[in-house]
Chains A and B, each alone.
Chain A
Amino acid sequence: MSALTQSTPAAARSDAAPEKELRPPSYWPFVVPALVVVLAIIIFPWVFTIWMSLNEWKVGSPTSFVGFSNYLRLTSDPRFIEAIGHTLVYTALSVLLPLVLGTFAAVVFHQNFAGRGFLRGVFIMPMMATPVAIALVWTMMFHPQLGILNYLLSLVGIPAQLWVFHPATVIPSLVLVETWQWTPLVMLIVLGGLAAIPTEPYESAQIDGANLWQVFRFITLPLIMPFLFIAGMIRMIDAVKSFDIIFAITQGGPGSASETINIYLYSVAFTYYDLGYGSAIAVVFFLLIVLLAAVMLYARQRMLWTEIASGA
């Protein structure tokens, strides 16, 4: 602090300082550089995307204003409609499975055991690892003839699967990777929730002779519900947008069996370079994510109201 007062000429007239206190200091100068960056890389692209979506805009040919025809084209694009279906199935599974497994993992990591810190570090490695590198190894593991997964199945007498190489199993297989990768995030959020729970309810439950499942179902679960909701919301936003894993393992295949909206958007914009149509997909895609988030919020509110109504 002494270095500070020496370096400032204003220190000499510190008697003038109190009047400074009257008007709240402006912190705008701190925000301006970031504001410029955010305007340039987040707001500008958004406005420009909306504008492009109203145009016929292909790389290498002149552009023309076409109004909403890109959006109309979406409604009769079977590939897009199919992609919505894939996205919803993929998202639903990629939210539910990590929520269930992550909650279980959080309850376990909430206990005291030797090496907990280290093992938690190992447990979160999948979500920090480079997705493309992970995808590459999973691709090898999914290999129908030489993959380790079919070998493991054969050990317990289950016939070999085609995994990501068959339309019927490709989405569940990708969800397996997604779940493996993102269960740790749910675990961390729920673990934070568990840390905030008071110990009294558990003590009285123990006196009442409740078993482990009853304790979890009637004490832990209601108390961590807000955290589960946040985890579910984050998981939904990430799963809908999932790109790296799907693109690196299947590129939407076989055929278009695992083509989600994001993968289709990539093809339209950067394989066919149909930027106007791609922009329309991007806008609708964003609105779909907002809609899903709104539905989740609504469901959460409804749940809270039923809880209050039932006197819980």
Chain B
Amino acid sequence: MTPRQIIGQIGLWLSVFVIVSPAILFFLWMLSLSLKFEVDNAAYPPVFFPDRIAWKNYADVLASNRFLTYFTNSLIVTGSATLLALLVGVPAGYGIARMAAHKSAIVILIARITPGLSYLIPLFLLFQWLGLLGTLVPQIIIHLVVTVPIVIWIMIGYFETTPMELEEAALIDGAGRWQVFRHVALPIAKPGIAVAFILAVIFSWNNFVFGIVLAGRETRTLPVAVYNMISFDQLSWGPLAAAALIVTFPVLLLTVLAQRQIVAGLTAGAVKGG
């Protein structure tokens, strides 16, 4: 290596360090907060590595009887909204791609631009009239606002890249359009469906604004539940940080495991909910 190359290498690693450290330090600090007793969290200068580790923060959060309810709520809302979105969105993406009906994508664009709150006002009234407000149904339905556009958008893009030859051959062989979709197009589209699924799950899981309006005491999802902890438990940072980490942990895990799909989906559609 020439001196110039060595300087280049040092510069590169310095840049990498500068870029990545805000993320690393943040999550490490989050972990540190969640594992400390109050004495250590209220200490100044801050304690980075505590002498005693407060596993109890996690135990307390997990053992509280409401946590399981909220976790189940999150699972039901995100699970249903994602599955329903795949059920209607994958065929729609296929149809739009095959009809080359690109103008219909403008609806997706409008949905992307519209602030989440403006869906909430009319739908809130509708759910009230229908007497659904005490249940999880309103949240499942309104999460479709997030998940359906993501799925359609990604599937249009994906089906446009899959080859038509096989489908045409199957049509000539006398297969119906539905059969072609089910047995030819769908199997090829599995990677695209995986991308749509992962992004829909993440953005639905993270959604907060719909929950604070529509959720009652029993129907809160995890982000709303954590937010409510702030107002009541202002001073106990340990359990709060532990709760925050528990809520976001599934998403972080998914990000690390499915990084390739997430990157592909975000750069293809760059669709985000909310």
* Residues of chain A whose beta carbon lies under 8 Å from any beta carbon of chain B: 1, 3-5, 7-8, 10-14, 16-18, 20-21, 25-31, 33-38, 41-46, 48-49, 52, 104-105, 108-109, 111, 113, 117, 119-126, 128-134, 136-137, 139-141, 145-146, 148, 151, 180, 185, 188-189, 191-192, 230, 234, 237-238, 241, 243-244, 247-248, 262, 265-266, 269-270, 275, 278-279, 282-283, 285-286, 289-290, 293
* Residues of chain B whose beta carbon lies under 8 Å from any beta carbon of chain A: 12-13, 15-16, 19-20, 22-24, 26-27, 29-30, 33, 41-46, 84, 87-89, 91-92, 94-96, 98-99, 101, 104, 107, 110-125, 141-142, 144-145, 148, 152, 170-179, 181, 183-184, 202, 205-206, 208-209, 212-213, 222-224, 226-227, 230, 237, 240-241, 244-245, 247-248, 251-252, 254-256, 259, 262-263, 266-267, 270, 272, 274
Residues of B within 8 A of A31 (CB): 91-92, 95-96, 99, 101, 104
Cβ of A129 and Cβ of B252 under 8 Å apart? yes
Question: What distance in Å separates the Cβ of A118 from its nearest Cβ neighbour in chain B?
Answer: 8
Task: Give Cα distance in the complex from A21 to B19, angstroms.
Answer: 56
Task: Give Cα distance in the complex from A132 to B112, angstroms.
Answer: 21
Task: Give Cα distance in the complex from A275 to B213, angstroms.
Answer: 13
Cβ of A137 and Cβ of B230 under 8 Å apart? no
Cβ of B255 and Cβ of A124 under 8 Å apart? yes
Cβ of A243 and Cβ of B262 under 8 Å apart? no
Cβ of A139 and Cβ of B117 under 8 Å apart? no
Task: Give Cα distance in the complex from A105 to B274, angstroms.
Answer: 26
Cβ of B92 and Cβ of A238 under 8 Å apart? no
* 8 shortest interchain CB distances as A-B pairs: A30-B95, A34-B92, A282-B118, A133-B244, A10-B174, A27-B95, A48-B122, A30-B91
Residues of B within 8 A of A3 (CB): 183
Contact partner of A136 (CB less than 8 A), chosen from B23, B46, B241, is B241
Residues of A within 8 A of B33 (CB): 137, 140
Residues of B within 8 A of A10 (CB): 174-176
Residues of A within 8 A of B226 (CB): 130, 132-133, 136
Residues of B within 8 A of A247 (CB): 208-209, 212
A122-B122 CB under 8 A given contacts A17-B174, A25-B171, A133-B248: no
Question: What distance in Å separates the Cβ of B40 from its nearest Cβ neighbour in chain A?
Answer: 11
Contact partner of A121 (CB less than 8 A), chosen from B120, B121, B148, B256, is B256
Task: Give Cα distance in the complex from A149 to B29, angstroms.
Answer: 11
Task: Give Cα distance in the complex from A142 to B130, angstroms.
Answer: 43
Cβ of A123 and Cβ of B19 under 8 Å apart? yes
A125-B255 CB under 8 A given contacts A108-B19, A192-B267: yes
Cβ of B115 and Cβ of A131 under 8 Å apart? no
Cβ of A45 and Cβ of B174 under 8 Å apart? no
Task: Give Cα distance in the complex from A214 to B175, angstroms.
Answer: 59
**B interface majority secondary structure:** helix
Contact partner of A45 (CB less than 8 A), chosen from B92, B123, B206, B255, is B123
Contact partner of B23 (CB less than 8 A), chosen from A34, A126, A189, A243, is A126
Cβ of A42 and Cβ of B172 under 8 Å apart? no
Q: How many A-B residue pairs have CB under 8 A?
A: 297
Question: What distance in Å separates the Cβ of A131 from its nearest Cβ neighbour in chain B?
Answer: 6
Residues of A within 8 A of B184 (CB): 1, 4
Task: Give Cα distance in the complex from A279 to B114, angstroms.
Answer: 12
**A interface majority secondary structure:** helix
Task: Give Cα distance in the complex from A265 to B21, angstroms.
Answer: 36
Closest to A138 in B: B26
Cβ of B89 and Cβ of A34 under 8 Å apart? yes
Question: What are 8 A-B residue pairs whose CB atoms fall within 8 Å in the complex?
Answer: A29-B177, A48-B122, A130-B223, A132-B244, A230-B270, A241-B116, A262-B115, A286-B114
Contact partner of B148 (CB less than 8 A), chosen from A38, A104, A126, is A38
A41-B267 CB under 8 A given contacts A126-B23, A133-B248, A293-B113: no
Cβ of A244 and Cβ of B15 under 8 Å apart? no
A108-B173 CB under 8 A given contacts A132-B226, A145-B44: no
Cβ of B171 and Cβ of A20 under 8 Å apart? yes
Cβ of B88 and Cβ of A34 under 8 Å apart? yes
Residues of A within 8 A of B16 (CB): 108, 113, 119
A30-B181 CB under 8 A given contacts A128-B252, A189-B267, A289-B113: yes
Question: What distance in Å separates the Cβ of B58 from its nearest Cβ neighbour in chain A?
Answer: 14
**For B95, B98, B121, which residue has the most chain A Cβ atoms within 10 angstroms?**
B121
Cβ of B171 and Cβ of A243 under 8 Å apart? no
Residues of A within 8 A of B262 (CB): 124, 128
**For A34, A45, A286, which residue has the most chain B Cβ atoms within 10 angstroms?**
A34
Task: Give Cα distance in the complex from A201 to B245, angstroms.
Answer: 46
Cβ of B117 and Cβ of A266 under 8 Å apart? yes
Contact partner of A113 (CB less than 8 A), chosen from B13, B111, B223, is B13
Task: Give Cα distance in the complex from A228 to B262, angstroms.
Answer: 20
Cβ of A282 and Cβ of B144 under 8 Å apart? no
Cβ of B174 and Cβ of A8 under 8 Å apart? yes
Task: Give Cα distance in the complex from A140 to B38, angstroms.
Answer: 13
Task: Give Cα distance in the complex from A13 to B175, angstroms.
Answer: 11
With contacts A43-B107, A124-B263 known, what are 10 further pairs, Cβ within 8 A? A8-B179, A27-B96, A37-B88, A42-B110, A128-B254, A130-B248, A132-B223, A134-B244, A243-B117, A270-B124
Residues of B within 8 A of A120 (CB): 259, 263
Cβ of A136 and Cβ of B244 under 8 Å apart? yes
Cβ of B46 and Cβ of A4 under 8 Å apart? no
